[in-house]
Structure 1
Amino acid sequence: MSGVMSPYDVKRERKELYAPKNREWALLEVPAQEFIAVSGKGNPNTVPEYARAVEALYAVAYTLKFASKRSGRDFVVGPLEGLWWSPNPEVFTARAKDEWLWRMLISLPEWLTARDVEKAAGAALAKKKLPAIELVEHDTLHEGTCAQVLHVGSYDDETPIMTALHERYLPANDLTERDRHHEIYLGDPRKTAPEKLKTVLRQPVSPR
């Protein structure tokens, strides 16, 4: 045996959060997690701010990875995640994407701190010259009790499974939604056919 430790991989270490098998809604407890994050508004397919936010997140994530690896603790950069919300929930069922609010995320190992993120963002900005890096911040998210499901298919085909959550699953279990809708993107839409994309859908809930 070489004795070399494998890099930390959140998809492997927290399979219940990042590799669920259930295709129907089910409850689970989500512990506190650390992230880097950028917030914005608008259609993710058309607004330049969205693409810039994602580019900035990955620039900081890989700067953090390489700095951590040099200090002896390597990790695999996690998948892109997103929190989605609006003061008017009808904009989601109507697919009025210009009105969507979003906060894009990439998970971090627990040993990285807000100070590490600040230093990495400064280094990435100096190297990449991407203004959106200035918007990247450290965040702690503790969602607690959530309903979660694995969706396989196009992002635009999520409406039926979300309707099932709100019209059947939550009422049947005497639950109500709490906090922002959370998605974890396990596939790359640039390389994967829409019908084969895998997305973890998560909704924090509480008793009625």
Structure 2
Amino acid sequence: MKEINYRKDYKNIYLPGKKPCIIDLPLLNYVTVEFEGDPNREEFSELIEALYSFSYTVKMSYKSERIPENYYKYTVFPLEGEWDVLNKSVGNKDKNNFKAKMMMRQPDFLNEELFDYFLKIVKNKKCDNKFVEKLKFEFIDEGLCCQIMHIGIYDEEYKSFEVMDDFCLKNDFFRIDKRHKEIYISDPRRTEVSKLKTVLRYKIAKKDAL
């Protein structure tokens, strides 16, 4: 079996164009961890490290003593975040008011039993990382969404959201959830900020579906 690469095999999910589009997402499995406050804090990097450590442990499990049933080779999926605010009256003006569920999609062969098994391995390797203990295995159904590829700095994402809102209005869709998803296609440590690629997505419904 060929190696699964999300950039090629799931292009519609992870590489939309710079114009808004509609996507209906299936139920997918993730490893998640929750966070509150300013993502510029140092501990946010520790959270991301926990997610990547787990994800690469699963990817490299074909070299371990316990190779998962139905294992296949694949490219590790990108980091994602579902963003919201703690206090609605404050909104997103203060980054300390942010809350997020950070996550990384996992291969189809990962189940609850294997999650527990690999989590123990990661705990032994990263015993000083407090976020490893907080990792969870979840199935997430985003359903019908509007999404776009945002190019540039994170603080200007509002411009892409305005384009998405206008697209939905013209096509008789409306947003049903104030939370939004961000998928980080670019590595901010290695990419010029003006060229950062981030998928922006939020849940929608068709007006005539009510």
Q: TM-score, normalised by structure 1?
A: 0.88
What amino acid is aligned across from residue 40 of structure 1 in structure 2?
Answer: F
Give the drift of 1:65. Answer: 1.2
What amino acid is aligned across from residue 185 of structure 2 in structure 1?
Answer: L
What amino acid is aligned across from residue 110 of structure 2 in structure 1?
Answer: L
Q: Who is 2:102 aligned against? A: 104
The verdict on how the C-alpha distance between 1:193 and 1:45 changes in structure 2, with shifts beyond 3 A counting, is same
Q: Who is 1:43 aligned against? A: 38
Q: Who is 1:121 aligned against? A: 119
CA distance in 2, matches of 1:204, 1:69: 39
Q: Which moved more, 1:81-90 or 1:59-68?
A: 81-90
Q: Who is 2:29 aligned against? A: 34
Q: Who is 1:88 aligned against? A: 88
CA distance in 1, matches of 2:120, 2:22: 39
Give the drift of 1:163. Answer: 2.5
Structure 2 gaps of 5+ residues are none
- State the SS of the aligned residue for 2:161: helix
- State the SS of the aligned residue for 1:202: strand
The verdict on how the C-alpha distance between 1:85 and 1:163 changes in structure 2, with shifts beyond 3 A counting, is same
* Alignment deviations for residues 99-122 of structure 1 (CA, whole Å, 9 cap, x no partner): 111011111111111221121111
Q: Who is 2:59 aligned against? A: 65
The verdict on how the C-alpha distance between 1:10 and 1:196 changes in structure 2, with shifts beyond 3 A counting, is same
Q: Who is 2:139 aligned against? A: 140
Give the drift of 1:205. Answer: 0.6
Give the drift of 1:126. Answer: 0.8
CA distance in 2, matches of 1:178, 1:99: 21
Contact 2:90/2:97 (8 A) holds in 1: no
CA distance in 1, matches of 2:9, 2:103: 18
CA distance in 1, matches of 2:143, 2:89: 22
Aligned length: 199
The verdict on how the C-alpha distance between 1:202 and 1:42 changes in structure 2, with shifts beyond 3 A counting, is same
Q: TM-score, normalised by structure 2?
A: 0.87
CA distance in 2, matches of 1:155, 1:108: 25
Give the drift of 1:90. Answer: 6.1
Contact 1:125/1:131 (8 A) holds in 2: no
* Alignment deviations for residues 124-144 of structure 1 (CA, whole Å, 9 cap, x no partner): 111221221001111111111
The verdict on how the C-alpha distance between 1:196 and 1:121 changes in structure 2, with shifts beyond 3 A counting, is same
Q: Which moved more, 1:136-145 or 1:175-184?
A: 175-184
Structure 1 runs, 4 residues or longer, greater than 3 Å off:
none
Contact 1:11/1:78 (8 A) holds in 2: no
Give the drift of 1:192. Answer: 0.4
Contact 1:91/1:97 (8 A) holds in 2: no
Match of 2:7 among 2, 6, 11: 11
Structure 1 gaps of 5+ residues are none
